[in-house]
Chains A and B, each alone.
Chain A
C-alpha cells in the first residue's frame, strides 16, 4: 500500500459520499415501494401510528446513546450502540413516512426536534432513566420482545411502506431481543448481586408493561417470551398492575422533558441553521 496514495484520496471527492461513517450505510427498504396511501387506509391513523412507533424508537435510541463510554465492557459498548443505531434508523424511516402522508410535508427532524413532550406518543417504559445495566437490559428485553411481536404483525400491514419498514425492523429486533435475553439469563444466574439487581429491575419495569398492549393482541406472545427468559434466569415473573395514564395519549413521566431538552437543545437554539 502506498502511503501517499491512501493519504491523498482523503482530500478528493468520493462517489460514495452518502456513507460517512462505517456502519451508517444501509439499504433503503423503501426502494421501489409505492409510497401512495392505499385505498381504504386512513392516512391520519397511519401517520399517527408511524409517529408513535418512531417516538418509541427515538426515545429508546437516546437512552441507549447515554450508555456510550459507560458500558460495563467494550463488547457491550459496541452492542448497545448497534441496537441504538438500529432504532434510530427505524425512527427516521417512520418519521419520513408520517411526513409523506399527514399532509404537513414535514421532514424527520421536524418531528424529532420541534415537538414538545406532550406531543410525543412513546411508551413511558422507553423514557425511564437507564438505571443500572440490569434495568437497561430488562427494559430492552421487554421493549424488544413487544416491538418484535408487533412488527411481525405489521409486515402484513396494508400500507406497503410500513410493511417494508417492519420487515427490515424484524431482523434487527430479533437480535435486540436475543442480546437482552442472554444478558438477563446471565445476570439472573450469575452472582448474588446480579440476581438481586435483575429481580429489582423486573419489578421496576413491571408497572410499565400494560401500556404496551394497546393495539394488536401481542400480549400473550410477549408474556410467553418473558416467562421463558425469566424461567431460564431462575427469576420470578413480575406481577404487574397497570399505572394510570399512558404515554400513548401524551401523559409522560417527569423524565421525558429533560431527555428532549438535551436532544433538541442545539437544534432549537439555531432554528435557521442547516447541519
Chain B
C-alpha cells in the first residue's frame, strides 16, 4: 500500500555542482533517461531530491506492509476454518515479505533498514492511514482483502512502471501477490453472503465501516495535493489521487452488486455523461486527524511494532555477537 503522504516532497536540490562542473551533464543524462521512460538504477547519478523522495515513499510503503500485518494478523489464531487459517496466515506472511523487499529497495538508495524502523516507531515516518482502523469481526478480513488490497493494487500497478528500477521490479512481484489477496478477500465475502443471516450482517457492517477509509487511501483531492507534480514529472507517481480513486470506485461498484452488499454512499450513481460513477465526498478532516496520529488505533499499532522491536533487541544482539565470534574464530584458525 502506498500512502499519499509521499506527496510531501523533499524539494532539496542536488548538492552544488562539483568543481569539475560535471553535474549539469549528469542532470541532463538523468532527465533524458526519465523522458525516454527508461529506468534509473542504483549506480546511476540522480538528483538528491529524487533520491530522498524515493527513500521516503518506499520506506512508507514498507512500513505500511509491516504495520498492515497487525489488523489481520490478530485473526489468524481465530480463523473459523483451517482453510481460512492457512490462507490468512500465508497472506500476512506475504506482507512481511513485501516489507522485506521494499526495505531492500530503499537500501539500494543508501537508506538503512534499522534507521527506517526507528523512524517508524518514533513516529517520524508515516504508514498508510487505513491501518489505524480496527478489525472488529472476521468479515473485516474479507473486506480488507477486497477494498484495502484492491485500493492498494490501484495505487501500485502504475508503480510497476516507476522510473526507479529496483522499486518497479519489487512492485511487479508485490502486485501479483496483492491480486491473490484481493481475490481471497472477495471469495471469503461471497462465501459468507451465502451463509447465515448473521454472516451477511457481519459483511454489510464491515463494508459500512471500511468504505470511506478505503477511499481516503488515495489521498486528498488533487486540488489539495499540490506537491504531487514533481513526483509525476519524475515518473515516481503515474496518476493523480482523484484518477485512482475514480478507478477504484468504478471497479468496486459492480463487485458490490454481485456480492449483494450496499456501499454506504447515497450519492453513488452512474453518470452516463462522464462515463464514471459519481460519489460523495470523504470526510477529509477525518483523514487529516488519522494522519496526524488521532485515528482509532494509531497508538496501538506503533506500540506493537515498538514492543516487538525492543523485545527482539537481545536476539539481534546475540546474532551479531555470534557472527563476530565466528569471524574471529575463523581468522584465528586461518592465522594458526
Contacts and interface: CB of A to CB of B under 8 A. Distances in A.
Contacts of A266: 78-80, 138
A22 B182 CA distance: 12
Contacts of B182: 10
Q: Which of A58, A62, A69, A70 is most buried by chain B, counting CB atoms within 10 A of its CB?
A: A69
Contacts of B70: 69
Given A77-B96, A78-B93, A81-B96, A69 B157 contact: no
Contacts of B154: 7
B99 interface: yes
B319 A262 contact: no
- Interface SS majority for chain B: helix
Contact of A17 (B81, B84, B187, B251): B187
A158 interface: no
Given A21-B94, A72-B311, A88-B89, A191 B317 contact: yes
A186 interface: yes
* Chain B interface bracket (under 10, 10 to 19, 20 to 34, 35 or more): 35 or more
A109 B79 CA distance: 11
B158 interface: yes
B90 A23 contact: yes
Contact of A22 (B94, B187, B188, B304): B94
B172 A1 contact: yes
A22 B86 contact: no
Contacts of A189: 321-322, 325
A21 B178 CA distance: 8
A267 B158 CA distance: 40
Interface string B66-78: 1001100100111
Interface of A: 1, 3, 6-11, 14, 17, 19-24, 58, 61-62, 65-66, 68-78, 81-82, 84-85, 88-89, 91-92, 95, 108-109, 112-113, 132-133, 185-187, 189-191, 193-194, 197, 262-263, 265-267, 270, 272-275
5 contacts: A10-B251, A14-B183, A19-B180, A185-B322, A274-B191
